[in-house]
């Protein structure tokens, strides 16, 4: 009895030893093949830990991308590129008129019947591929986080936005996508970002693994960052956008919890071509239905919207040559903005497009309104109001939530200028976003003063030569301001 048991244990130990030996052999021969000893590899890896991680993507995602990129390349429309050779529509044509149900859709893009069929056939092929490959999209289940993109020029602006995000109390992790290693800055990626709960991801670490895929252009980075981010639930924020209040609950509440895709409106009407709807084989919605989209912020669930995310990627991959002109004939907002809801519509997926119009932040100068930024509203408030579910304790109008500084970037190096938004017509200091009372009433606190505290801290920490100018502006505008922040 005892002997059998001993023999049994011995066999188990031997099996384990054999397995370990086999593993060691594998590691050793791998390193031999790659011309390095395992200790060398290990020390390189330790040294470059930060770097390597930034371009490391899970093997499942790499495999998915190589397959999907192959479909993207195959789905190129077999016809010449679409170019708009027409003057942009005028203000009356792009004005949003929700009560004018007879308003005509802008319609001047022309395609021959043959080209239309070519674009439509490729679209149908891509829809099939997207539905087929969506289950293979890899991400970390049940994770939530913020995704953004930033080239070197946008870093100082992003740092201010990240400080505002943390100031809002948000605990969401942030993934910042850089185009390539050329844009990698170890001071920022390994020093400043980790202290702000952000990490660098190098897009090229996965993107270029697919053979014959074209280099991405400016507008295409956003969708790729969302696609390659590790999160299941994504809040995309442009580098120049930040929340005025903590956004973390957006993922847990309506409308996101039911729809899984939430978009915000721009101030213009939708100018997608009627041809787009023919190509996608879907009904053409009246232009009085919704505003065009503004994509400074976006919520997307990969578990609910994987297939349309892939179609969005297709619309952006062929954006400059086909889908940007098809989805936007106007000069306002050509680019990725319209690709999100239209891909969802093409696959008949639900989405919540916030109806509350953006609040334009700015001031008057010489009888003209100077637009500085745009505030976008709380989708939960918007949802309650639209559904008629608001209770007496709720606000009767949606509260602002995000600020998108698309017009005047809050770069500490350049924001204080003689002709900038910090000066009135006589050259005196002024607030950028209009009266303090309005900002206080609508956000619940003075987000403008707070953003100046962060510009000041960020600008002076970075040792910019505008530090003293920012201090001067802040101290004269906010003499009773937070004395801890201003010396
Ligand atoms: C990296 O960022 C730091 C901090 O903003 C900056 O001082 C430095 O010049 C940057 N380095 C490069 C190589 O761009
Ligand atoms: C709900 O919102 C609507 C639209 O803003 C408003 O007219 C109504 O007074 C609100 N109801 C309550 C009970 O606050």
pLDDT in tens, 406-430: 888 899 888 888 888 999 999 999 9
pLDDT digits (tens, 9 = 90+) for 440-472: 999 999 999 999 999 999 999 988 888 999 999
The 10 Å Cβ neighbour count of residue 137 is 20
48 band by pLDDT with thresholds 50, 70 and 90: very low
415 alpha carbon to ligand 1 midpoint, in Å? 19
Reported as a single tens digit per residue, the pLDDT across 226-246 is: 999 999 999 999 999 999 999
Ligand nearest to the CA of 355: 2
Nearest CA to ligand 1 atom 7: 462
**Cα 46 to averaged position of ligand 1 atoms, centre (Å):** 23
Whose alpha carbon is nearest atom 10 of ligand 2? 396
DSSP tag of 481: S
pLDDT tens digits, one per residue of 365-394: 889 999 999 999 999 999 999 998 877 776
182 C-alpha to center of ligand 1: Å? 12
47 vs 90: which has the higher pLDDT: 90
339 has pLDDT over 80:
yes
pLDDT of residue 178: 97
What is the residue with the minimal CA distance to atom 14 of ligand 2? 392
- In this predicted structure, what is the pLDDT of residue 197? 97
Contact partners, residue 416, CB within 8 Å, separation at least 6: 422, 466, 469, 470, 473
User: Whose atoms come closest to the Cα of 394: which ligand?
Assistant: 2
What confidence score (pLDDT) does residue 35 get? 37
- Residue 460: its pLDDT value, please? 93
SS3 state of residue 49: helix
Q: Measure the CA–CA gap between 455 and 467, rounded to whole angstroms.
A: 9
Give me the CATH topology for the region 131-353. Spore Coat Polysaccharide Biosynthesis Protein SpsA; Chain A (3.90.550)
pLDDT tens digits, one per residue of 120-177: 999 999 999 999 999 999 999 999 999 999 999 999 999 999 999 999 999 999 999 9
Ligand at minimal distance from the CA of 154 is: 1
Q: How far is the CA of 298 from the centre of ligand 1 (A)?
A: 29
The ligand 1 atom nearest the CA atom of 192? 4
Give bridge partners of residue 85 from the DSSP assignment. Answer: none
Domain ranges of the chain: 9-53, 131-353, 359-485
Q: Give the pLDDT band of residue 335 (cuts 50, 70, 90).
A: confident
Question: Relative to the alpha carbon of 182, which ligand is closest?
Answer: 1
- Quote the ligand 2 centre to 289 CA distance (angstroms): 21
**44 pLDDT more than 50:** no
Q: Is 484 in the pocket of ligand 1 (CB under 6 A)?
A: no
DSSP E strands in 19-154: the ranges are: 140-149
Q: What percent of the chain has pLDDT over 90?
A: 76
Q: pLDDT value at position 47?
A: 39
Burial category of 394 from C-beta neighbours within 10 Å (exposed 0-12, middle 13-18, buried 19 and up): middle
Q: Sheet holding 291-301: strands in order across? A: 198-202, 174-178, 140-149, 231-237, 291-301, 261-269, 352-353
Ligand nearest to the CA of 158: 1
- pTM of the complete model: 0.87
Query: Across all residues in the chain, what is the average pLDDT?
Result: 89
Q: Mean pLDDT throughout 350-368?
A: 95
Nearest residue (CA) to ligand 1, atom 13: 185
Binding site membership of 361 for ligand 1 (Cβ less than 6 Å)? no
Instruction: Take atom 1 of ligand 1 and give the residue whose Cα is closest.
Output: 185
372 lines ligand 1 (CB under 6 A): no
Tokens of 82: 């679409």
Q: Are 379 and 352 in contact (CB under 8 A)?
A: yes
CB distance 159 to ligand 1 below 6 Å: no
Residues with CB under 6 A from ligand 2: 385, 390-392, 394, 396-397
Q: What is the mean pLDDT of residues 11-27?
A: 49
Please tell me the predicted confidence (pLDDT) of residue 222: 96
How many angstroms is it from 388 CA to the middle of ligand 2? 7
- Give CA separation, 222 vs 198, 207, 374, in Å: 17, 13, 19
Ligand 1: which of 154, 184, 187, 457 to mutate, most ligand atoms within 8 Å of CB?
A: 187
| Atom nearest to 159 CA in ligand 1 | 5
Ligand found nearest the CA of 387: 2
Which atom of ligand 2 lies closest to the CA of 395? Answer: 14
């Amino acid at each position: 009895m005892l002997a059998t048991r001993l023999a049994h244990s011995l066999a188990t130990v031997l099996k384990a030893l054999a397995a370990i030996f086999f593993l060691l052999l594998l590691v050793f021969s791998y390193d031999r093949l790659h011309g390095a000893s395992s200790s060398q590899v290990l020390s390189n890896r330790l040294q470059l830990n930060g770097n390597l991680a930034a371009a490391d993507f899970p093997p499942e995602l790499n495999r998915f991308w190589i397959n999907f990129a192959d479909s993207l390349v195959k789905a190129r429309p077999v016809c010449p590129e679409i170019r708009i050779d027409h003057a942009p529509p005028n203000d009356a044509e792009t004005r949003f008129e929700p009560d004018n149900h007879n308003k005509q859709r802008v319609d001047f893009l022309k395609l021959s019947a043959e080209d239309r069929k070519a674009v439509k056939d490729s679209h149908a092929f891509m829809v099939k591929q997207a539905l087929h490959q969506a289950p293979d999209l890899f991400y970390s289940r049940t994770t939530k986080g913020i995704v953004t993109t930033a080239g070197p020029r946008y870093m100082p602006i992003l740092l201010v936005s990240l400080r505002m995000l943390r100031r809002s109390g948000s605990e969401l992790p942030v993934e910042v996508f850089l185009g390539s290693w050329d844009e990698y800055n170890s001071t920022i990626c390994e020093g400043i970002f980790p202290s702000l709960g952000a990490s660098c991801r190098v897009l090229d670490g996965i993107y270029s693994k697919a053979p014959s895929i074209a280099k991405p252009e400016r507008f295409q980075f956003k969708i790729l960052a969302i696609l390659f981010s590790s999160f299941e639930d994504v809040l995309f924020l442009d580098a120049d956008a930040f929340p005025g209040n903590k956004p973390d609950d957006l993922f847990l509440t309506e409308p996101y919890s039911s729809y899984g895709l939430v978009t915000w409106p721009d101030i213009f009407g939708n100018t997608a071509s009627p041809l787009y709807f023919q190509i996608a084989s879907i009904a053409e919605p009246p232009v009085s239905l919704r505003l065009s989209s503004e994509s400074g912020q976006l919520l997307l669930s990969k578990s609910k919207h994987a297939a349309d995310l892939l179609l969005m990627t297709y619309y952006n991959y062929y954006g400059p040559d086909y889908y940007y002109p098809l989805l936007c004939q106007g000069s306002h907002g050509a680019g990725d903005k319209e690709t999100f809801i239209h891909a969802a519509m093409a696959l008949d997926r639900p989405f919540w497009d916030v109806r509350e119009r953006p609040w334009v932040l700015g001031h008057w100068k010489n009888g003209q309104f100077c637009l500085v930024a745009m505030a976008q509203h709380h989708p939960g408030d918007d949802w309650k109001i639209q559904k008629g579910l608001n209770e007496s304790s709720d606000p009767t109008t949606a509260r602002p939530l995000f600020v998108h500084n698309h017009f005047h970037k809050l770069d500490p190096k350049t924001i204080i200028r003689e002709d900038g938004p910090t000066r009135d017509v006589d050259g005196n200091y002024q607030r950028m976003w209009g009266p303090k009372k309005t900002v206080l009433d609508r956000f619940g606190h003075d987000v403008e003063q707070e953003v100046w505290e962060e510009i000041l801290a960020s600008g002076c920490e970075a040792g910019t030569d505008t530090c003293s100018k920012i201090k001067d502006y802040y101290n004269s505008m906010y003499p009773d301001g937070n004395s801890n922040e201003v010396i």
